Structure formats: structure tokens, C-alpha cells
Structure 1
Amino acid sequence: MKPSSITMLTICGISELPDQGQRSVTHVLSILDPEHPDPEAFEAYDPHHRTILRFHDIIEPRPGMIMPEPEHVEAVLQFGEELAKSGPSRAEGHLLVHCHMGISRSTAAMLTLLAQTHPQESEDRLLKRLAEIRPQAWPNSVMVGFADDMLSRGGRLTDALRRHYGRQLRRDPRFVQWMRDIGRSREVDMAA
């Protein structure tokens, strides 16, 4: 993803998709639960390129649920490569990444794309950029761990994620209970 080819970055949840339809979205990365139907909101969008990934927003195995796997993050990186290749054919673009709430899987995917696009940028700066795009970002740690390895960041992306979690907990202490309630205690503990 060349920085000059994408002029707008958006992260949102499914309920926010109708509001994005008038914003000239050119590329969409949808991350949905496997059983969730395709959002109808996209029927009102102008023509755009869309990639759909399906897995659950979990960090520990659960019966009947699909964990984020390396191939999911590889698909995010492939999406980024295709986005970069399409850059010369357009003057500008608007990338929308969404999951169900626009908090975890989508923010992990956007962080992955930012790290791919800006390989020399510090991990803390990447997470600061992410928080500017989506202040409530709580990236899925499993996805970020895979991205850290695949992008040869040597654990630095995961370390920066710990600091980001800490900032989020200080910004909104309700995250502690929310994350624990959905089985994400390990991420809360990472912030300590």
C-alpha cells in the first residue's frame, strides 16, 4: 500500500457501514464471523474492490470457533500488496477496513497494513497513527503477533501493542471489564 495512493483510511463496525457509503470508498477489507451474512450496506456503495475474511475475534481456542491464523494475516498482507499495485491506476483512494465492532480485528488488520506500508516507521508511531484513525482501537493480539513475525519486526510490534493497551486502559478503564468479559484477559494483563 503506497502512502500516496490511499488518501483516506477508515475503520468501522458493521453498524457504521451505511454512513460510509457516500465517502467514495475504493477498497474494502471486511472481516466477519464465519456465520455472519454479508452486510447489505455494500449494495449502496459505488463500485469498489472488496476482500472478505471470515474468522472469529478470539485469542484463545474455543469449541466451534475459528481462531485468527497465519493465513488470515497473510491475506491481509496480500490485500496490501494488491492495493499498492493498483496505486498508479488512480489519483487517490479510500480504504475502509471493518469488522463487527471496528475495535479488534479491523484495527489489527489496519495496523498490519500500516506496518507493511511504512517499514521504517517505529512501532509506537504506527500505533499512534492507528489511534488517530480509530481512538477505541484494541487490536487482536494474535493477529498482531503473526504480523510482527511476517513483517520481521522482531517482537517490537507486540511490545508497542502492550504499551497501546496500557494507554487504552488509562484512557477508558471500562476496557478492563469489557475485555475480560469477552475472554481477552490475557490482553489486559499484557498492559501491566
Structure 2
Amino acid sequence: MTTDITTPLLPYRITICGLDELAGHAQGGFTHVVSILDPERADPEDFTAYLPHRRVLWRFDDTLQPGPGMTVPCERDVRKILKLGEELLAEKADQLLIHCHAGVSRSTATAVILMAQNNPGREPEIFQELSRVRPRSWPNSLMVGIADDLLGRGGALVRELRGHHARVAANHPDLATLIRLHGRAHEVPEA
């Protein structure tokens, strides 16, 4: 299959942010919003200042393994992302805001999944675009791995994710340190 790399990955614009950035995007004109929050986190009040938009809210923790009181992202969650991707295309979405707690892991994994959905063979380009949109990003590897399986990518998304993690670790060593401290050291490549 030949892919035309001049074709945009998505026909709508994606913005990724964390909770502390939501107020700054209130006048962004977003037609659609994805909120990914920890299960016990209160819903942000910032959206009262936003123009009318369609918003979905998903609740799961930014974790890779089960633990006490943790809601691990699972296949059902990734299938919801893929279903939303189909709906965004059908609705001719214009601008999508994706946020999680820090705008680093769950939200960026969601963006990767949406970009990958209809773009087989463009995995390197997906992570280049992610780096452009959100340079300080560390997509949740569990979510990306599930998407790789569901989309039949044979490990291509996971391989590119590892390269992305290596580049981000080199450019943002403070983020790599935080990832290590939060029980995800196996995602951080050795220097």
C-alpha cells in the first residue's frame, strides 16, 4: 500500500494540554473536547468558560499495571477512542482539545491512537506530529500497545513509541526522571 505523506494525518486540529492549562484554551474555539481524568478527580470547572462544544469524559488512571485503587486503561478504553475517531470524522470535527491531568501521557496516547487509526504505515510521521504538537510528551505505553494490537500494526506503533520515549528522555531529562519515579522506569531507555 502506497501512502501519500502529503495527506494530513487528521482533517482536524489537535491541541493537547493538562488541567492547569485548560483556562488558557477557553477561547480556542474547540468543537470537541476529550477529558481523561483519574476516577476520583472532580470535573474541572474551566469548561463553563468554553464556547459550546461536544465533550467526552473518560476516567482511568495513568498507570500500566493494576494496583490498589487503580483503574488501569484497558481494551474497552482504547475501543472508545477508536469509536470517537470515527465519530469525529463523521461529524467533520474542526478542532479537538485532548486533556488529562498533566497533558503528558493519557492525552498524548489518545492523540497517537486517533492519528494511527486510519494511517497504517505512517507510524514515524505520527510521532513526528506528536512532537510538534506536544514536545514534552510521554504516551502511555499500555494504551499504545493495545491500539497496536487492535489496529493490526504488528508492533510498528510500539517500536516508534520507544524511539519517541528515547528522544523525549534526551530532550527532557526531568520528565524521564518523573516517569522513573512513578513506577514506569522500564519505559525510560538507558542513556
Q: Could you tell me the TM-score, scaled by structure 2's length?
A: 0.91
> How big is the shift at 1:120?
4.1
**CA offset digits 1:23-43 (Å, max 9, x no partner):** 101001110000011110111
2:30–2:51 contact (8 Å) kept in structure 1: yes
Larger mean Cα displacement after TM superposition, 169-178 or 9-18: 169-178
Q: Which whole-Å CA distance do the structure 2 matches of 1:172 and 1:65 have between them? A: 27
The aligned amino acid for 1:36 is R
Residues 83 and 116 (structure 1), Cα distance of their counterparts in 2 relative to 1, 3 Å cut: same
Helix, strand or coil: the match of 1:184? helix
| Structure 1 residue ranges without an equivalent (≥5) | none
2:30–2:53 contact (8 Å) kept in structure 1: yes
> How big is the shift at 1:176?
2.9
Q: Which whole-Å CA distance do the structure 1 matches of 2:30 and 2:139 have between them? A: 23
Helix, strand or coil: the match of 1:63? coil
1:2–1:84 contact (8 Å) kept in structure 2: no
Helix, strand or coil: the match of 2:158? helix
* Aligned ranges 1:160-175 → 2 under 5 Å: 160-175=160-175
Identity among equivalent positions (%) equals 46
Q: Are 1:3 and 2:13 an aligned pair?
A: no
2:16–2:134 contact (8 Å) kept in structure 1: yes
Helix, strand or coil: the match of 2:188? helix
> How big is the shift at 1:61?
1.5
Paired positions, count: 184
Helix, strand or coil: the match of 1:183? helix
1:42 equivalent in structure 2: 47
Q: Could you tell me the TM-score, scaled by structure 1's length?
A: 0.91
Q: Which whole-Å CA distance do the structure 2 matches of 1:143 and 1:82 have between them? A: 20
* CA RMSD in angstroms, aligned pairs only: 1.6
| Structure 2 residue ranges without an equivalent (≥5) | 1-7
